[in-house]
């Protein structure tokens, strides 16, 4: 899990589906980014998909969720479609975690200095 904070986790999936079929299925499931007060879209992911490249995040209805960003690309293969994916945390989450760590370190240093 700690690798998500830095460079991300790289994965490669081999799909037996053709490039056109994988493209069609991804386009069906990825909704374009749009802010709404109440989310009513029936899709599972929000993000962008074009020219075989995608960047998306899972749509989560609950609070306190650290959604990882899914970035990748599709390439044609002889026996299907290889899908190269990289999972990362959103930059805001990384900055927020670093700030919380800094506050915790300052509090610990203050408590240790008072002894």
At 62-102, the pLDDT tens digits run: 666 667 889 999 998 888 999 999 988 878 888 888 899 99
Q: What is the mean pLDDT of residues 5-23?
A: 87
Q: What is the CATH number of domain 2-90?
A: 3.30.530
- Look at residue 2 in the predicted model and tell me its pLDDT: 64
DSSP 78: T
Residue 47, H or E segment: strand 45-50
- Look at residue 105 in the predicted model and tell me its pLDDT: 95
74 to each of 31, 50, 89, 96, how far by Cα in Å? 18, 10, 21, 32
pLDDT averaged over every residue in the chain: 84
Boundaries of every domain in the chain: 2-90
- Look at residue 3 in the predicted model and tell me its pLDDT: 63
Full-model pTM = 0.69
Under DSSP, is residue 113 helix (H, G, I), strand (E, B) or coil?
helix
Closest Cα to residue 88, out of 7, 26, 11? Answer: 7
């Amino acid at each position: 899990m700690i690798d998500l904070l830095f460079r991300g986790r790289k994965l490669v999936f081999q799909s037996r589906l053709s490039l056109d079929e994988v493209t069609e299925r991804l386009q069906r499931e990825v909704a374009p980014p749009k802010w709404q007060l109440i989310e009513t879209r029936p899709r599972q992911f929000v993000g962008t998909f074009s020219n075989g490249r995608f960047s998306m995040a899972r749509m989560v209805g609950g609070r306190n969720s650290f959604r990882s960003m899914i970035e990748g690309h599709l390439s044609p293969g002889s026996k299907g479609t290889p899908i190269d994916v990289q999972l990362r945390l959103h930059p805001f989450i990384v900055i927020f975690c670093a700030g919380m760590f800094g506050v915790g370190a300052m509090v610990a240093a203050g408590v240790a200095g008072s002894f």
